[in-house]
Chains A and B, each alone.
Chain A
Amino acid sequence: MNESLLEVNHLTKYFPIKKGLFNRTVGQVKAVDGLNFTIFKGETLGLVGESGCGKSTTGRSLLQLLRPTTGEIKYEGRNMVGLPPEELRRLRKDMQMVFQDPYASLNPRMTVGELIAEPLDIHQAASGKERTRRIDELLEIVGLNSRYADRYGHEFSGGQRQRIGIARALALNPKLIVADEPVSALDVSIQSQIINLLQDLQDQFKLTYLFIAHDLSVVKHISSRIGVMYLGGIVELANKRELFAEPLHPYTQALLSAVPSPDPLAKKSRIVLPGDVPSPANPPPGCAFHTRCHACMAVCRTDKPELRDVGGRQVACHLYNQA
């Protein structure tokens, strides 16, 4: 269980801000700023955070869909950053992505069969009868009728489209699937179908997931460990049970208390954060969260806290540094 599949060391991704006649770089959006984490084989690591915190950039950097600015990403011990394209393509068979918007992520001009077979064709994994058999098999795995292979994406509902997206990701028998908000665009009654499907597939094919979402209850349900991101960095990374039982970082505490509970009798004390998330182009000095933190100290304004072990989990906060 505790064998690492993917290791991320000091990952940063800056997007340049360009201006003027000569396209000079006048600044940088620090989307991801110094991430360290490990994904273990067979687990589901959840990444939560609000919009603009860099969780999607992280997911895309892992698959090298975005080139990281610095840092290394080790897949089974091998650094993927800077690999030649041909080798990278071979490695990519092992890692696939499921996207958020099932309406935008399926090419409207391709039939479902073509969509699912595209990865097979690119990697020359199957052809002829074998290819057809594989399409039928994949459709059935995700709970769709194999007769649908000749239809187009627009003929399906949101939930069915997401199933097609999942079938496509499964085509090459990957080991790691990065799911970027896979259920946020779906209705409540459809969400639970897709979540159950993802869990069944994990059991069946021994998959490892990086599950990115902003909905805490969904992330809690599916993940074994959860990383909470704020402004390009992980502020807390812990086993989900510990994280929800006792969140340590002030941001995690506020985030958990902000979720509306579907129980009208639950009167909980809510920490309402003042203000907005600062711009990642101009993050505050010191701890990125200090501008909204209720427990802010002098040291928080000047020194950036590192992610360090606190009783079996990792927290980036000066509150826990003395102990």
Chain B
Amino acid sequence: MKRKLLEMKALKTYFYTGDGVVPAVDGIDITIYEGETVGIVGESGSGKSVTSLTAMRLTPGKVVEGSVTFDGRDILALSEKEMRGVRGNDMAMIFQEPMTALNPVFTIGEQLLEAIRIHMKLGRSETKARAIEMLRLVGIPRPEQMLREYPHRLSGGMRQRVMIAIAMACNPKLLIADEPTTALDVTIQAQILELMQQLKTSQGTSILLITHDLGVVAEMCDRVAVMYGGQIVEECDVLTLFTSPKHPYTQGLIKSMPTLETNERRLYSIPGSVPPPGSLRDGCRFSPRCEFAQAICHERHPQLEAVGAGHSARCWLHAAEAKEAFQ
């Protein structure tokens, strides 16, 4: 069995706003093992980004319950100074918008060297050599010149490569990628995904990949957690997700995607709309949009239960199945 790298247990991150408490993440368990790519899939407002930000302790919300253990250390108990040593060094993050994540008034070199200088404590020329090596690794042409360029001179794909170079500069154990290719064109997306795969194999980095694109999930991930309304509704390995999804929401998501292969005239669609975060209700959060909803679904909240080996779902339809699996 591989070593656990990141473990989140019963994690709850709430936002206290003028309009009341918003439970953006409401009881999440996720474990990432070494060298593994775990995907979190969900629509806007499902709490997937807040989950990843909580792991880095970057969220403005408050962690009201639960624990985050990274590499044997309790992340939530670290001081801010200790946390700075973890961020960028052991865990690094790539964001969706490479334009807003890079500072426009500093050159690529200044931003890349900063990360290496702070965490690796190398000499001046070694720092620069490392920066050039990183830029070459992510496939940027003419890296020496590129250090002197400003972000606006680069295309979206190149900027995202620079972001990856900064994130990977200190050989982090975990890379958190929040929608890393959503802002990019498909051919550029293919380049970036291939690059992330290469880095994963050569550096042994674990990846937490946040996305709404099931195609990207199928290509990149080993295991997947599907989020809805701040909770995980289904978790399994990637093959099971596409071959025998259990939760009606997961099934609906997969069916509602037009693919290059299908030829049906009408698409399946999940009725209703994504609930805004914090709109709590009794019973299953998906029940108002679920075509299989029974009386119990509207009354009692289902638990995440095992429905197979390494496969769990939060649905009353499979509660009986879950009981049998336990006995």
Contacts and interface: CB of A to CB of B under 8 A. Distances in A.
Contact of A276 (B155, B214, B262): B155
Interface string A242-274: 001000000000111111111111100010110
Contact of B269 (A51, A196, A259, A264): A196
Interface in B183-197: 185-191, 193-194
Interface stretch (A106-114, A115-123, A210-218): A210-218
Contacts of B273: 157, 159-160, 190
B158 A276 contact: yes
A192 B258 contact: yes
A26 interface: no
B258 A220 contact: yes
A188 B256 contact: yes
Contact of A157 (B187, B258, B274): B274
Interface in A203-249: 214, 216-218, 220-221, 244
B267 A262 contact: no
Contacts of B267: 192, 195-196, 221
A3 interface: no
A262 B187 contact: no
Given A188-B257, A189-B270, A276-B188, A260 B158 contact: no
B190 A192 contact: no
A226 to B, nearest CB: 12
B260 A264 contact: no
B259 A262 contact: yes
B258 A217 contact: yes
Which of the four size classes fits the interface of chain B?
35 or more
Contacts of B269: 189, 192-193, 196
A50 interface: yes
Nearest to B154: A276
B219 A260 contact: yes
A260 B242 CA distance: 14
A86 interface: no
A192 B255 CA distance: 10
B144 interface: no
A262 B190 CA distance: 14
A264 B238 contact: yes
Interface string B31-54: 000000000000110000000000
B64 interface: no
Contacts of B44: 187
Contacts of A159: 273
A191 interface: yes
Most buried by A among B212, B241, B254, B266: B266
B256 A218 contact: no
Interface of A: 50-51, 157, 159-160, 187-193, 195-196, 199, 214, 216-218, 220-221, 244, 254-266, 270, 272-273, 276-277
Given A50-B187, A217-B259, 18 more contacts: A187-B43, A189-B274, A192-B268, A196-B269, A199-B265, A216-B186, A218-B258, A261-B215, A261-B218, A261-B219, A261-B259, A262-B214, A262-B257, A263-B261, A264-B219, A270-B194, A272-B187, A277-B185
21 contacts: A159-B273, A187-B43, A187-B274, A188-B256, A188-B257, A193-B270, A214-B186, A216-B186, A216-B260, A217-B258, A217-B259, A218-B258, A259-B215, A261-B218, A261-B259, A263-B242, A263-B261, A264-B241, A272-B187, A272-B191, A276-B157
